[in-house]
Amino acid sequence: MKKSFLCLILCLNFLCLYADIRTYPAPPGSELNTAFTVKVRQNEGPWQQIDIYLARIANNTNGGIKQERTSFGYFDFSGELEVSVTVKEPIVSGVNLRPRSYGITPVVNGNTIGFKLRSPRNISLEVNGNIFNNLHLFANPLNRLSRAVADSNLIYFGPGIHRVGVLKVLSGKTIYIAGGAIVQGQLLMDRVHNVKILGRGIITQLPLPGDSVTRSKAGKGLSKMRGDEITINYSANIEVNGVIVLPHKYSVFIGQSDSVKISNLKSFSSEGNADGIDVFCSRKVYIDSVFMRNSDDCIAVYGHRWSFFGNTHKVIVTNSTLWADIAHPVLIGTHGDSVHPDTLSDISFKNIDILDQHENQIDYQGCLALNAGDKNLIKNVSFTDVNIENIRKGQLLNLRVMYNKKYNTSPGRGIENVLFKNLSYTGANPNLSVISGYDEARTIKNVIFENLRINGQLIYDDMTEKPSFYKTGDMANIMIGEHTDGIKFIVSQ
């Protein structure tokens, strides 16, 4: 009896000591990537292995889009965590662990890489400069949510593979996708309210091993729906938290909705027009701690398109990492209503890491792009503490009142009151950035750059390095064109 009690105490102590890590084995039938072996532990305890999934991303070559294979794994933890990554590469000559703003220093021993985490992070580990066959690790906060079996408003997907087609989510429901679960299908919220999509698992429309179809099909009566992965139309009080998305089209589509919160979402895409999070004619949209690696715009904020109408107001994005293998990390504007013009206002991005942009088409460059078309007015926009690490091909900024015949029926009305505070770029020389209005009635005005740094150099109007006959924008490779007013570069005290 005493021996049994002692064993119980030891087991409880063991569980308490190592209960701050939660791992999720991949379900049988998952498509895994064996390029990396990943283990985690705490307090010199036993190592726990993390299953590494395969995802597909886009390589934007001059000859077109090529799909590449990449890796990702996920787990939960609190406290301090030790991570060990073993790679198949016979020789490891260099390791990048990004975002660099996290200040995590890896230690390389042969073909094993070690580092520590002291808080939840979404990171990219790149070996020998390979940004495609790299490892993405999603170290989540501990998931305190548990299954409420008696709750009739809960739809629970436990570990395993679930093929759901198009799942129409009703008002008041909570969808819980557990760690170790893969849900194949589309989550559709249309004219509903008070819905939550929670969990740690994966949702995808892409084929799984053994599938005979290319992707999940829309159900009867839904043929006119776009088929985006998580669709939120004409809805209110919607929350999406913690899931990983491998979409066919957009990862998250928000159309004419109110009070939407997206947190800790992770996304990979590889096809054309496979945006990350797109917002149309909506208000009070909060996006926090997301990791978006997409083959089109990572986060786009628009006015009218298709059957959605109205202004877009109060979109806030914080603490997030964006990686656009094609198109823009951030795009605001473009689509609108020339008959009943839209205003896109009170939009802010704070504490953002942009890891890359690669876009061949000049019209769609700009890591931070404000493109007013279709009589859009873009105003009251701020970017604070934004770190752009590299641009393989593209521009730092593209601010234009524009008319793109492919997407627009008229030029925009203007862009005004834009703040870039603590914007930093460290990387190869990007293409020329542009700030340009359309005509005397459709201008860009009141754009403030506060503490702009380009590869460590502070750019401001009174900088001693600037010849008196230069525009300040010349020092930052920014063309300040016609029909602009109030463009200032300052240093805060």
pLDDT tens digits, one per residue of 166-211: 999 999 999 999 999 999 999 999 999 999 999 999 999 999 988 8
- The residue ranges of DSSP E strands in 15-63, in sequence order, are 21-23, 36-41, 48-50, 53-61
From residue 60, give the alpha-carbon distance in Å to each of 104, 344, 359: 29, 30, 7
What pLDDT is stored for residue 10 in this prediction? 34
Instruction: Give the largest CA-CA distance in the chain.
Output: 90
Q: Which of 421, 411, 342 is nearest to 381 (CA)?
A: 421
Please, which residues have CB within 8 angstroms of residue 63's CB and are 6 or more apart in sequence?
none
Helix (H) or strand (E) holding 342: none
Distance, CA of 402 to CA of 412 (rounded, Å): 6
Q: What is the pLDDT of residue 19?
A: 54
What are the residues whose beta carbons fall under 8 Å from the beta carbon of 238, sequence distance 6 or more?
Answer: 189, 192, 193, 195, 196, 197, 232, 257, 259, 260, 261
Residues in the chain: 493
Cα separation of 304 and 306, whole Å?
Answer: 7
Q: CA 94 → CA 124, 128, 303, distances in Å? A: 14, 5, 44
Query: Residue 210: its pLDDT value, please?
Result: 80
Residue percentage of the chain with pLDDT more than 70: 92
- pTM, whole model, 2 decimals? 0.94
Q: What is the pLDDT of residues 458-488, one digit of tens each?
A: 999 999 999 999 999 999 999 999 999 999 9
Domains of the chain are 19-141 (2.60.350.10), 250-490 (2.160.20.10)
Taking the alpha carbons of 146, 150, 155, 158 in that order, is the dihedral positive or negative? Answer: positive
Average pLDDT over all residues of the chain: 92
Whole-number Å distance between alpha carbons of 176 and 151: 12
